[in-house]
Structure formats: C-alpha cells, structure tokens
Amino acid sequence: MRTQSTAEGERMNENQLKWRITDTKRLLHTPVFDVNEQHEVAATGIEGDYVAMEAPDWAMVVAEYQGSFVLVRQWRHSAECLSLEFPGGVVDGGEDAATAARRELKEETGFEAGKLTH
C-alpha cells in the first residue's frame, strides 16, 4: 500500500488521510442520481466544499450468445448520440445484483441468463 507524506516528510497513516463529511446540501435530484455539495474536514484540519454524485447500485451483464457479445444500442442524452453497450440498469429496492442483472438482460434484449458469474 502506498503512503502519503506531509511537507515535512513524515508518513501519514490511513486515518490521517480520511476526510469527514460535516454537512451535505442536495444541489440536484434526478430519477437516476443526485448531486450533492459536501463540506468536508481532513484529519489535518483542512476543510472545503466538494461536489459528489450519489447513485443507486447498478448491474451490468456481459452476455455471450453463439460466440458474440450481446449488446444494446441506446440513446445517451448527454452525449447526444447512440451508444453500443452491455445491457444493465438500476438494482431495484429489495433486489440483489444477480436478480437485477437477469431482469435487465431480459428487459433490454429478450435473452434469459443461464449461469451468472461475478
């Protein structure tokens, strides 16, 4: 594991590198993610405001059928273009990642997963 040093050359341990969130303000809420401004304080006393994105868990499936990968073509609004991707999506509440992966593969491609490996 790499360590970081202070200006004086002293090594800092892991706890000295951690920052503590003291305040959070939501800047933007969307169905897919939230953008928050967080006030954070380092163990060294340095503090500042930082922007963080918060999103639910996602599952992605790298599926193979007859020697080829199963991909989906989707419109990506921020890129303003079609994107060729592996199927995937949000893990719904109460769902585990494997269940979400199976569901997303079926919804987006019509394929049903056999054995899942992760």
pLDDT at residue number 45? 92
Of the listed ranges 7-21, 27-41, 66-80, 99-113, the least confidently predicted one is 7-21
- Give the C-alpha separation, 105 to 87, whole Å: 6
Q: Is 100 exposed, middle or buried (0-12, 13-18, 19+ CB in 10 A)?
A: buried
- Give the C-alpha separation, 63 to 113, whole Å: 8
- Give the C-alpha separation, 25 to 93, whole Å: 24
Q: Of all helices (H) and strands (E), which one includes residue 107?
A: helix 97-109
In a 3-state reduction of DSSP, which class is residue 89?
strand
Asked if pLDDT for residue 7 goes beyond 70, the answer is no
pTM of the model: 0.67
Look up residue 106 and give its DSSP letter: H
Mean pLDDT score, 31-52? 95
**Helices within 26-77 (DSSP H only):** none
